[in-house]
A and B are shown apart, each in its own frame.
Chain A
Amino acid sequence: DAKTTQPNSMESNEEEPVHLPCNHSTISGTDYIHWYRQLPSQGPEYVIHGLTSNVNNRMASLAIAEDRKSSTLILHRATLRDAAVYYCILRDRGQGAQKLVFGQGTRLTINP
């Protein structure tokens, strides 16, 4: 499985934007970039995914570098409920059932 590198922790203030980085220098051309987050005492939940182009949904935006070796999850206006561990995961788009392999993630703290 291709490896991702994320900072162990980050801190931000409520109502400010948050940029969560992820490095994946060994990404292959068939890998999608997925983000999940895990709120305290909950199972992980899907946030967003992308391949080459930047993506937006109701939860967040995903900015993907042109060489695809890094990406950034953007929370446009953080709330206290966004405090969670955020995981950046690569998934091969090849045929067959795909594994979902988690790393250590980034623990995001939001200050009121």
Chain B
Amino acid sequence: EAGVAQSPRYKIIEKRQSVAFWCNPISGHATLYWYQQILGQGPKLLIQFQNNGVVDDSQLPKDRFSAERLKGVDSTLKIQPAKLEDSAVYLCASSLFGASQNTEAFFGQGTRLTVV
């Protein structure tokens, strides 16, 4: 089974520039998560999709971050404009949907963003 695919793996941009990350979840997985992981910290949930609807985006800085999941499959996360504090690894994860808690999440390898 193919895993969660993310691109690019690495990105370096200057502050105030914009950047976009792409995620292709495991086929058939209705739930998709985006996380931000700053060096030395645990992953922080930015946004969670159920199919193409947003379930939770309470931690997403909406003045500069946006995310979409068209047709309930692939997703993109955008930052515009970027700040120095946005330097982090951005992780995408997916899982099957269900009320049962037996649904493990599968993570991609992440995109390491450096803002200079």
Contacts and interface: CB of A to CB of B under 8 A. Distances in A.
B31 A44 contact: no
A49 to B, nearest CB: 7
Given A93-B99, A97-B50, A99-B56, A46 B104 contact: yes
A18 B91 CA distance: 28
B107 A99 contact: no
A9 to B, nearest CB: 12
Given A43-B91, A97-B55, A99-B48, A32 B107 contact: no
A55 to B, nearest CB: 11
User: Does more than half of chain A's interface fall in helix, strand or loop, or is it mixed?
Assistant: loop
B31 A97 contact: yes
A112 interface: no
Interface residues of A, number: 28
Interface residues of B, number: 30
Interface of A: 32, 34, 36, 41-46, 49, 51, 85, 87, 91-105
Nearest to B33: A100
B50 A43 contact: no
Interface in B26-71: 30-31, 33, 35, 41-45, 48, 50, 55-56
Contact of A102 (B31, B44, B104): B44
A45 B109 CA distance: 10
B108 interface: yes
B45 A101 contact: yes
Choose among A32, A95, A99 the residue with the greatest number of B CB atoms under 10 Å from its CB.
Answer: A99
B107 A45 contact: yes
